């Protein structure tokens, strides 16, 4: 097989625009999966293989499938379809998947038009010099508007949509046209067949039987079992045990050569040793240059995860270890909270990533967790010039020791129906946003760009955005850098004792409001107790808000005779179960919601 007959491409789309369904149709059409196998696979979307991915309708892990396609020109092509994660948290992974391709299908829902992630993904593809083939999907829907969608692709994304393919992945309309366009429009891979081996590692996962499986795009040379390979970023050397590709069944081959996409199994123990974006070389004949674009991805959002019951600490640790095997972008390290005891400070790529990890811990490992409010990483420069990274508000140095604090900012791109523009601008302003751009992309849809502090986003920005716009607006964002800000630590005191797990870092101008809102919310969620609970919000020694949860004065069963005894006893047993969901902090019993109260402010 010559690399002239190879096409490497991915599908990019806004969430729910039909990416996975199109992938299924392509698999079917090329015979990679028979109808029967589609059914036997027991799920509609073959490339999304984690329950959570299917439930949320998003793709978390990239996959690559090799397909045989007999084109109308009579040539049989090898198509490598590389599936990409579809969420802003995984932008880096998407970019590495794209770097493994020469082209991309840009899928746009004909009834929705261009959305924020359509734009973000298309720009990312352009950055990687990919040939973009626009596909207008869901044309079977009654409210599909092909012409308007085309116009949006041209006006907003800036692509020529003349050749856009009208399709319905659900109905199987346009699949051949799409495949023909892949073959005709996307260039074949280029590389040095005879050169020293170089491959881009664009995905990896842990397999209980084979260890780490890595997905690669071979750029130059070839790789075979028995060869020694070296990871450029870590210098780790290992021996190739097998190579091959997925059809989506795993098939072993003799070798992978320049232009091909496939897997390598090389006795790697941890996913952390197979970094996405890394260059794999021949250990004995290393290439001179690594491939461009490698980044060591750093978590952007941090939160504490504590076991509800302190005896479960070891179980939580084990569960985190297991998760990390398969998800190197997630980090954790032990931390101790005065209020919550032993737990872990965990780092995530973003809020969705955090939700996924939390849910997997609860669902797959049966953990009962207390998560603390998410925070970003602050750069704190102490007087004297030393810089520390602070990923836990409780760890912020004393105000007297701080020279300055910088916080991460992002550029948010929001696409919204025109009628919500006013409310969205108000939301962005309220979140300390700086307007960058407002553009009509059609007569009734608007692209808004704002520069915003990430710490305002992690609170509840996305939920607010969705509720303000009734779900119609879409959001994408990218990190724009660190900016010095006037930030302060807001402490929450319960009966005069600071509760470290409730501290947060906020802008000075918003501290009073946040403190008030948070105190009010806590008053709502903390049940009345035997003692009065005084909730105070403080900046340093200054109290800025105060609420009181009045003590219970009466909780008595006035009559307890014959049959009341059984009822009362059963009630006692039930109450005991309820108590397990409360965390004792000093003499105060706090429900799980208290630790996330800051996210619920304003609800």
Partner 1 sequence: MLSLYVHIPFCAGKCRYCGFFSTVYTVEAADQFLKALGQEAFLLRRQFQDQVFETLYIGGGTPSLLSPRQITDLFELLKANFHFFSGGEWSIEANPDSLSSETFDMLLEAGVNRLSIGVQSFSDEELRVLGRRHKALRAEESVRQAQRSGFRNIGIDLIFGIPGQSLADWEKTLASAVGLGPQHISAYALSLDEGTIFSREAAAGALSLPDEGIVSAMYDKALDMLRGAGYGHYEISNFALPGCECRHNRNYWSRGEYLGLGPGAWSFVRGRRSSNCADICAYEQQLSGGALPTAYEESVGSTEAAAETLLLALRTGEGLDIRDYERLCGRPAAARVHAGAARLLGSGLVQIADGRIRLTARGMFLSDEVIERLWT
Binding residues (CB under 8 A) for partner 1: these are 529-531, 552-563, 565-566, 568-569, 572-573, 575-576, 579
Helix H, strand E, coil C: the string for 447-509 is EEEEEEEHHHHHHHHHHHHHHHCCCCCEEEEEEEEEEEECEEEEEEEECCEECHHHCEEEEHH
- State which residue, 208 or 556, has the beta carbon closest to partner 1: 556
| Token reading at 379 | 């750069």
- State which residue, 176 or 581, has the beta carbon closest to partner 1: 581
Q: Which residues pair with 250 in a beta bridge?
A: 246
CB of residue 323 to partner 1, shortest distance in Å: 33
CB of residue 411 to partner 1, shortest distance in Å: 50
Separation CA 309–CA 303 (nearest Å): 18
- State which residue, 288 or 558, has the beta carbon closest to partner 1: 558
Pure H helices in 161-262: 175-185
φ, ψ dihedrals at 539, nearest 5°: -115, 115
* Cα-based angle 502, 503, 508 (whole degrees, multiple of 5): 140
- State which residue, 363 or 570, has the beta carbon closest to partner 1: 570
b/e per residue 34-65 (b: at least 16 CB within 10 A): eeeebeeeeeebbbbeeeebeebebbbbbbbb
- 553: exposed, middle or buried (C-beta count within 10 Å: 0-12, 13-18, 19+)? exposed
CB of residue 207 to partner 1, shortest distance in Å: 45
Separation CA 136–CA 113 (nearest Å): 9
CB of residue 575 to partner 1, shortest distance in Å: 5
CB of residue 104 to partner 1, shortest distance in Å: 59
- State which residue, 267 or 586, has the beta carbon closest to partner 1: 586
CB of residue 490 to partner 1, shortest distance in Å: 30
Cα 380–chain centre separation: 26
* Nearest partner of 332 among 342, 317, 314, judged by Cα: 317
- State which residue, 443 or 576, has the beta carbon closest to partner 1: 576
Phi-psi region of 281 (alpha: psi -120 to 50; beta: other; left: phi over 0): beta
CB of residue 315 to partner 1, shortest distance in Å: 22
- State which residue, 184 or 569, has the beta carbon closest to partner 1: 569
- State which residue, 194 or 566, has the beta carbon closest to partner 1: 566
CB of residue 562 to partner 1, shortest distance in Å: 4
- State which residue, 435 or 587, has the beta carbon closest to partner 1: 587
* Measured CA distances, 350 to 204, 278, 377, 474 (Å): 20, 22, 12, 16
- State which residue, 382 or 523, has the beta carbon closest to partner 1: 523
Q: Where are the beta strands (DSSP E) in 224-372?
A: 228-231, 237-239, 242-246, 250-253, 256-257, 261-265, 279-282, 301-307, 331-337, 341-348, 369-371
CB of residue 308 to partner 1, shortest distance in Å: 16
b/e per residue 282-310 (b: at least 16 CB within 10 A): bbeebbeebbeebeebebbbbbbbbbbee
- State which residue, 140 or 497, has the beta carbon closest to partner 1: 497
CB of residue 573 to partner 1, shortest distance in Å: 7
How many other C-beta atoms can be found within 10 angstroms of the C-beta atom of residue 378?
Answer: 22
Pure H helices in 327-470: 351-365, 421-430, 454-468
- State which residue, 470 or 550, has the beta carbon closest to partner 1: 550
* Cα-based angle 163, 169, 174 (whole degrees, multiple of 5): 40
* Cα-based angle 286, 290, 294 (whole degrees, multiple of 5): 140
CB of residue 569 to partner 1, shortest distance in Å: 5
CB of residue 530 to partner 1, shortest distance in Å: 6
CB of residue 523 to partner 1, shortest distance in Å: 17
Q: Which residues pair with 343 in a beta bridge?
A: 335
Q: Which residues pair with 291 in a beta bridge?
A: none
Is-contact 494 523, C-beta < 8 A?
no
- State which residue, 541 or 572, has the beta carbon closest to partner 1: 572
């Amino acid at each position: 097989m010559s690399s002239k007959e190879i096409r490497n491409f991915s599908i990019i789309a806004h969430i729910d625009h039909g990416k996975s369904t199109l992938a299924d149709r392509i698999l079917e059409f090329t015979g990679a999966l028979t109808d029967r196998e589609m059914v036997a696979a027991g799920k509609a979307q073959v490339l999304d293989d984690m329950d959570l991915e299917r439930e949320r309708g998003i793709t978390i892990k990239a996959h690559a499938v090799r397909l045989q396609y007999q084109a109308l020109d009579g040539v049989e092509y090898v198509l490598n379809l590389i599936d990409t994660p579809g969420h802003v948290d995984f932008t880096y992974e998407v970019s590495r998947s794209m770097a493994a391709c020469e082209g991309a299908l840009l899928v746009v829902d004909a009834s929705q038009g261009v959305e924020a992630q359509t734009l973000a993904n298309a720009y990312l593809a352009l950055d990687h010099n990919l040939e973009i083939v626009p596909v207008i999907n869901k044309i079977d829907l009654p409210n599909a508007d092909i012409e308007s969608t085309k116009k949006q692709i041209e006006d907003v994304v800036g692509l020529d949509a003349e050749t856009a393919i009208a399709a319905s992945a659900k109905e199987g309309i346009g699949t051949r046209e799409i495949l023909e366009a892949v073959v005709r429009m996307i260039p074949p891979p280029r590389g040095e067949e005879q050169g020293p081996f170089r491959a881009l590692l664009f995905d990896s996962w842990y397999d209980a039987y084979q260890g780490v499986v890595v997905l690669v795009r071979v750029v130059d040379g070839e790789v075979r079992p028995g060869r020694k390979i070296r990871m450029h970023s870590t210098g780790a050397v290992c021996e190739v045990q097998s190579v091959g590709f997925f059809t989506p069944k795993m098939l072993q081959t003799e070798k992978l050569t320049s232009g091909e996409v496939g897997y390598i199994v090389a006795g790697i123990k941890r996913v952390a040793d197979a970094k996405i974006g890394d260059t794999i070389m021949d250990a004995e004949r290393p290439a001179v240059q690594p491939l461009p674009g490698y980044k060591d991805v750093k978590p952007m959002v941090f939160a504490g995860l504590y076991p509800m019951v302190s005896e479960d600490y070891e179980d939580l640790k084990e569960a985190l270890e297991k998760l990390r095997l398969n998800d190197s972008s997630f980090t954790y390290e032990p931390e101790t909270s005065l209020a919550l005891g032993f737990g872990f400070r965990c780092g995530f790529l973003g809020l969705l990533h955090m939700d996924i990890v939390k849910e997997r811990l609860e669902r797959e490992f049966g953990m009962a967790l207390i998560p603390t409010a998410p925070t970003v990483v602050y750069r704190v420069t102490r007087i004297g010039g030393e810089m520390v990274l602070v990923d836990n508000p409780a760890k912020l140095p004393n105000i007297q020791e701080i020279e300055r604090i910088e916080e991460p900012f992002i550029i948010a791109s929001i696409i919204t129906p025109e009628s919500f523009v006013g409310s969205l601008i108000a939301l962005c302003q309220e979140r300390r946003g700086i307007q960058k751009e407002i553009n009509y992309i059609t007569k009734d849809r608007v692209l808004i760009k704002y520069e915003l502090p990430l710490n305002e986003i992690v609170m509840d920005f996305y939920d607010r955005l969705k509720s303000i716009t009734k779900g119609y607006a879409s959001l994408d964002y990218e990190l724009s850098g660190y900016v010095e800000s006037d930030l302060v630590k807001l402490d929450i005191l319960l009966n005069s004792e600071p509760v470290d797990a409730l501290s947060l870092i906020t802008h000075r101008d918003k501290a009073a409001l946040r403190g008030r809102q948070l105190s009010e919310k806590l008053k709502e969620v903390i049940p009345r107790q035997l003692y009065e609970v005084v909730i105070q919000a403080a900046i340093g020694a200054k109290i800025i808000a105060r609420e009181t949860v009045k003590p219970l004065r009466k909780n008595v069963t006035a009559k307890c005779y014959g049959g009341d005894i059984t009822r009362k006893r059963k009630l006692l047993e039930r109450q005991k179960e309820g108590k397990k969901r409360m965390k004792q902090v000093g003499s105060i019993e706090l429900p799980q919601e208290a630790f996330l109260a800051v996210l619920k402010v304003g609800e």
